[in-house]
Amino acid sequence: MLELPILGLLQEEPLHGYELKKRLDETLGLWGVSFGSLYPALARLEREGAIEAIDPVDGDRRPLFPTTGSLAGEAAAARRRRVVVSRRRRKAYRITSVGTARFEQLLEEDPPPTADDDRAFAVKLAFCRYLPREARLAILERRRTQLADRLDRAQRVLRAQRDRRRPEDPYARSLVEHGTRTAAHDLEWVDELIAAEREAAAPESASAGTPSPGGNTL
């Protein structure tokens, strides 16, 4: 579950673990990633050859500005201290071609439905800009199917609840009703995304044109 967002973030630029965690926490913002899962994941990816550690070269030395304190003073102080070697413990990772392949595979594969389909889709959407339009559409279509199924099931459960003569629990009832609304809402959203994607694929206003066969990466 972590591999995809890690590879996704490394797509832009090499990063080290600590920074990676911060970005995962905020950008993907919904769930806290722990170091205890991040570092093993990085080790795994490195073992597989999907990423490689680059040694902290010159330019890496002070990428973060101190949050307080005068810059000039800081620079002077740095000059006074043993100047050059610093931050050597940081291990930045760069994605390899193997990693890019793996990244695309993870984005495009259709895993068996699981408890966190929603999160999985969110992560995919967050990085699907790196895919060609067709692959992106495939992801969206699959999500559409998924949501349509969910809506269907929710509506059936709703009907079943109504038909039961049972005293009927208002909480379970409200839960299913809200679930139904949410599924419908999500479905609309995905439909909009799909429509936008199709629109972008065929910008000519022709109504019956063949769909553009293009597969450009945005």
Can you give the binding site for DNA, defined by CB under 7 A?
1-2, 16-19, 31-37, 39-44, 62, 64, 66, 68-69, 74, 77-78, 81, 85-92, 112, 114-115
Backbone angles phi, psi at 172, to 5 degrees: -60, -40
Using the minimum distance from each CB to DNA, give the nearer residue, 66 or 214.
66
The percent of the chain in helix, strand and coil, each rounded to the nearest 5, is: 60, 5, 35
Is residue 70 a contact residue for its own copies (CB under 8 A)?
A: no
When the beta carbons of 66 and 211 are compared against DNA, the nearer one is 66
Q: Give the pairing type, strands 51-54 and 92-95.
A: antiparallel
For the sheet with 92-95, list strands across it: 15-16, 92-95, 51-54
The correct pick among 63, 129, 145, 191 for binding its own copies (CB under 8 A) is 129
Tokens representing 191 are: 């439909």
CA angle 105, 110, 112 (to 5 degrees): 130
Does position 126 interact with its own copies (CB under 8 A)? The reply is yes
Q: Does 150 bind its own copies (CB under 8 A)?
A: yes
Per rule CB under 8 A, is residue 211 in the interface with its own copies? no
- If binding is defined by CB under 8 A, does position 43 make contact with its own copies? no
54 binds, among DNA, its own copies, none (CB under 5 to 8 A by kind): none
